[in-house]
Amino acid sequence: MPEGDTVWRAAHRLDEALAGDTTTRVDLRVPRLATADLSGKLIDSCVPRGKHLLLRIGGWTLHSHLKMEGEWHVYRPGERWRVPAFRARAVVETSRTQAVGFDLADLALVPTERERELVGHLGPDPLSDRWDLDEAARRVGADARGVHVALLDQRNVAGFGNVYANEMLFVRGIRPSAAATDIDARALVDTGARMIRTNLHRVERTFTGDSRRGRRTWVYGRENQPCRRCGTPVRAGALGAGATRERNVFWCPRCQP
């Protein structure tokens, strides 16, 4: 599931493959960008911002969001794609590399100087060199909604998705529906930041320290299974800011009072 750590890895993989080279072909397969011409331009860098990916090409920024299904692949020229071509939304080629974005959402192209129009609303990013724990904690702690909803609002803190939110709340002993104004937001956000950094270079995320299949999470995806700490069956439900944005929540009723 693409969250901040997944996007960070994708951005750094693209940066290593493309930065410093000149494009030989850029094919943007969405109607509003189909006529954009970025061929023959120097690729400056590819950077992550929370769940957003910014590929800077010759004074322009190609913005993409992975949402639930998106992914970027890197191939050698002529190498067969591992995903059907009809799912490709962006192709960026150089003389030595072909980067292909499949099932991308919110694809946009803006002058690099206007990047903030796309990502300026985001809160502090725990994977950024400019991570500001105090500001992230202030935003989460001032949110009057349930803390699970507050954590997923990228305007409060950028990069945490549903898996991280559930696991962070379990480790801190906080029920997902608790008001964010009533909890220690700084300790919670700091826990999440340490989690996402620890998982950054792992092949598979783990929150328990056990990388074996089926043992990587405390509560996420474990409805009715015994809590790993106390044995109480894990409960599940849904929370969100609206009916169309509800997310599955998992918690232990004993460990998260």
Whole-number pLDDT of residue 243: 41
Place of tokens 């190498």: 79
Banded pLDDT at 232 (limits 50, 70, 90): very high
Look up residue 113 and give its amino acid: E
Whole-number pLDDT of residue 244: 42
26 phi and psi, to 5 degrees?
Answer: -130, 115
For 167-179, give the DSSP string.
HHHHHHT--TTSB
* Residue of 3, 124, 176, 222 marked catalytic: 3
* Residue of 13, 29, 172, 247 marked catalytic: 247
To the query of whether residue 51 is one of the catalytic residues in this protein, the response is yes
DSSP E strands in the chain: the ranges are 25-28, 43-49, 52-57, 60-65, 71-75, 88-93, 98-102, 105-111, 235-239, 247-251
DSSP E strands in 164-243: the ranges are 235-239
Averaged pLDDT, 40-64:
97
| CA gap 147, 156 in Å, rounded | 11
To the query of whether residue 67 is one of the catalytic residues in this protein, the response is no
Banded pLDDT at 210 (limits 50, 70, 90): very high
Place of tokens 């956000």: 189
In this predicted structure, the answer to whether residue 172 has a pLDDT above a threshold of 50 is yes
Whole-number pLDDT of residue 241: 63
| CA gap 64, 101 in Å, rounded | 9
What pLDDT, in 10s, does the model give residues 124-166? 999 999 999 999 999 999 999 999 999 999 999 999 999 999 9
| CA gap 108, 25 in Å, rounded | 17
To the query of whether residue 2 is one of the catalytic residues in this protein, the response is yes
For 82-98, give the DSSP string.
SS-GGGEEEEEE-SS-E
To the query of whether residue 204 is one of the catalytic residues in this protein, the response is no
| pTM to 2 decimal places | 0.92
* Residue of 49, 51, 205, 216 marked catalytic: 51
Averaged pLDDT, 53-57:
98
